[in-house]
Structure 1
Amino acid sequence: MRARIAPGRALTAAAGLALIAVGLHGVATNVETTGWALWFAVPVLAHDAVLVPAVLAAGWLTGRLPAPARTPVRAALAAAGCLVLVALPLVLGYGRRADVPSRLPLPYGRNLAVVLTAIAVAAALAAAVRVHRARRAEPRGRPAETGPGEGTAEAGDGGGGRR
């Protein structure tokens, strides 16, 4: 049985598709093909060649952290990586002109460092809180995390452990 789509949602989707069509028509008729192709290709390449390998490497490198700390650290690394990719042209000063001082007037390198520091501090606090809560919640004398096949059935309990 198919679910019915609410009329308001269908109307919103149709309006969105119409606006996308108008935008694509404008791009196709008013922008050079190489310009918009480059505009779409560079982010795809940055994602596939830089961001994905960096996220995979960060996931692998953070695998030795305590389990409760992994999620906030990995989230912070992903957010920081995306932020650096977006802010890098500003930090490097692409588009800055000496005769137009109002173009890129801020200290973008310092501002990026401040935001990255805030992300790191927030991740460290979140990881510390999660690790602390996990240690308080675990029973005495038993590790919080067990490997595959470990700790699932105690000796002599008839094998009734979780699977």
Structure 2
Amino acid sequence: MKADPVKTAVPKLAYAVVYGAGLALIAVGVRGIVVHVDAAAWLGWFAGAAILHDGVLVPVVLVAGLATGRLPAAYRRVVRAALVIAGCVTAVALPLVLGYGRRADEPSRLPLPYGRNLAIVLAVIAAAAAVTAAIRALTTRRARRKGRT
């Protein structure tokens, strides 16, 4: 069976348009870095991000993966999902918790107890994961009982 030339040409054209738009956006970003950003500051930030990723984030994720790999399969996804959500929430809230941007002469800039609030959100995530795991355990147990009778 021969391929329809119209059906094969449209995806190629779409890919070319999307790749072209992507390259144009990359060019705009590179130009912005070259023109508007101090090269030493950018290189320091870039190196710091690479070190943080490879030295902190990757080992934490690998250890979490190994630890959750030992859990029963029924709970593994629930715990991993809770860890991913908690990690994302923590990454977003960490600058607020650490007080970046806080000034003594302007108390309204970061007025809330962000550390306590982060702890509350993480506790809610843990509770939701625990409830989900408990429901999963109950439904699995009931399904096994029905299968035996």
Q: Equivalent pairs: percent with the same residue?
A: 59
Query: Does 2:100 match 1:75?
Result: no
Q: Which residue of 1 aligns with 2:148?
A: 140
Q: Which residue of 2 aligns with 1:92?
A: 98
CA change 1:10–1:133 in 2 (3 A) is: farther
Alignment of 1:29-68 (within 5 A): 29-68=35-74
* SS of alignment partner, residue 96 of structure 2: helix
Letter in 2 for 1:123: A
TM-score (norm 2): 0.75
CA change 1:85–1:41 in 2 (3 A) is: farther
Deviations 1:75-133 (A, max 9, x none): 21132223323422221112211123343233211221122122112212222222333
Distance 2:83 2:101 in 1: 28
Letter in 2 for 1:41: A
Distance 1:118 1:51 in 2: 23
- How many residues align? The count is 140
Query: Does 2:56 match 1:24?
Result: no
Distance 1:68 1:85 in 2: 27
TM-score (norm 1): 0.70
Distance 1:136 1:6 in 2: 52
Distance 1:113 1:129 in 2: 24
Gaps in structure 2 of 5+ consecutive residues: none
Structure (1 or 2) with the greater helix fraction: 2
CA change 1:31–1:85 in 2 (3 A) is: same
Distance 2:37 2:96 in 1: 24
Q: Which residue of 2 aligns with 1:159?
A: none
